[in-house]
Amino acid sequence: MRFTTLTLAMTLAAGAAYANPVAPGDVSFSDTGAIAESLTGTPGDAASGAKVLADRGAGNCVACHKISSLDAAFQGTVGPSLDGVGDRWDSAQLRGLVANAKHTFPGTIMPSFYKTAGYIRPGDEFSGKAAKGDLQPLLSAEQVEDVVAFLTTLKQQ
Amino acid sequence: MLRTTTALAVGLIATATLGWADADENELVVNGEIEITTHAPAPAYVDGLTEIYSGWRFREPDTQLTQMDDFDNPAFLAVDAAQITWDTVEGEAGKSCASCHGDVMESMKGVRATYPKWNETAGEVRTLAMQINDCRTENLKAEPYDYTSGKMTAMEALISVPSRGMPVNVAVDGPVQSTWEQGKEMYYTRYGQLELSCANCHEDNYGNYIRADHLSQGQINGFPVYRLKNTKLNQVQDRFQGCIRDTRAETFSAGSPEFVALELYVASRGNGLGVEAPSVRN
């Protein structure tokens, strides 16, 4: 319910450009796992993306990845450091990695943040109970774009 | 200050935890006399590991110390309570556990090390919890415990005490083989919306951190475990439920055939480690 209200509010605030993001099932990946176009049709907001990366209730990317410039305690070591990730990948490839990294790295431990089908025993969030109805992606299209916008700023060169 | 002195007194290697991600090199001796193996070669059937480590080797020195003396180990409050239960007549048969089994510290020696195991009469793989409940309903004529209840967990802890230091030695072939295979398949299945298998964290990434959580190999030689996080003894299948829930999956029930299979398989991955139960973790 809360999610629905929030989504609605964001849609209203953002206007027409955000009204029809590409649905998770309609996303098209390149051979390297990149997604060429913005999922929302507009560029993301890097400052909002930084919050998604650090927030345990959102992306919580720092659970596994180190990002030195982020003020987030206990950054994990499971994934590679994201320092300088904007030098290593372009925004299309970063978008694909955030949405579903398994297209780029088959078998990777990294969860797919913009996907809603193909799961084994999907749950109702962290309740341990079976999911009710359609799953929501772990991040919204807007959040994916915000994260991508932030990641492209992580340059060392 | 007191803590530092104690740490030095028991000989913990302080350098081992300074920013070193992997298992440390500390040695586990309980009450100054029970030497417990916390590092061993991996069994041949564990393809993804060459070495096995108890979860104790991944914990902070303070937590490690708490397990090294039964007076410090909070699990022993439950052990003491279970000892009273053991000696108390309960159920319509007018018997206590002690009526048949006598001194738990003698009769139960080695039991914890071999469970889950095949029960020929019943024709099934039984966990220690299942065997406790079978004894209660069939021999005591008493009500079974809820599978992950405090009373069950305390009884498991009591029964584990005389096996501490003995090597885990769970059978993987013969009549248990198909159950073991089922457990193995579950171990490598990526459950839930986060698509995580047991192996993703506990085989591929032990030693790494997920935020502040230092990933161990998920060995279960220490169960039941007293967790500082919830300040109680935790039943192993309760922990399985928590792990699968945390993948954003529909979990399995404690005592279900699936979790019996998983417990057998995960226990077998620790064959060669010493029984630690009841252990202390964070």
Q: What ipTM score was computed for the predicted complex, to two decimals?
A: 0.89
The torsion angles phi and psi of A134, rounded to 5 degrees, stand at -70, 140
Residue B71 lies in a domain: yes
Q: Tell me the average pLDDT of chain B.
A: 93
- Would the pLDDT of A26 be above 60? yes
Q: What CA–CA distance (Å, rounded) separates A86 from B16? A: 35
- CB within 8 A of A41, min separation 6: which ones? A17, A18, A20, A21
What pLDDT, on the 0 to 100 scale, is given for residue B12? 54
- With pLDDT > 90 as the criterion, what percentage of chain B qualifies? 91
The boundaries of the domain holding residue B192 are 28-96+112-280
Residue B226 lies in a domain: yes
A80 touches chain B (CB under 8 A): no
Mapped onto helix, strand or coil, the DSSP state of residue B210 is: strand
DSSP 8-state class, residue B161: G
Mean pLDDT of B65-73: 98
- With pLDDT > 90 as the criterion, what percentage of chain A qualifies? 83
Residue B143 lies in a domain: yes
A63 touches chain B (CB under 8 A): yes
This prediction's pTM: 0.91
Count CB-CB contacts under 10 A for residue A31. Answer: 7
Q: What CA–CA distance (Å, rounded) separates B48 from B184? A: 12
Residue B150: pLDDT band with limits 50, 70, 90: very high
Q: What CA–CA distance (Å, rounded) separates B240 from B223? A: 12
Residue B252 lies in a domain: yes
Residue B6 lies in a domain: no
Residue B4 lies in a domain: no
User: What CATH number should be reported for the domain holding residue B243?
Assistant: 1.10.760.10
Mean pLDDT of A102-127: 97
Pick B209's closest partner by Cβ from A76, A111, A131.
A76
Mapped onto helix, strand or coil, the DSSP state of residue B271 is: strand
Residue B101 lies in a domain: no
Distance from CA of A134 to the nearest CA of B (A): 12
Residue B21 lies in a domain: no
What pLDDT, on the 0 to 100 scale, is given for residue B19? 45
Domain count, chain B: 1
- Would the pLDDT of B13 be above 70? no
Name the burial class of residue B174, with classes exposed (0-12), middle (13-18) and buried (19+) by CB atoms within 10 angstroms of its CB: exposed
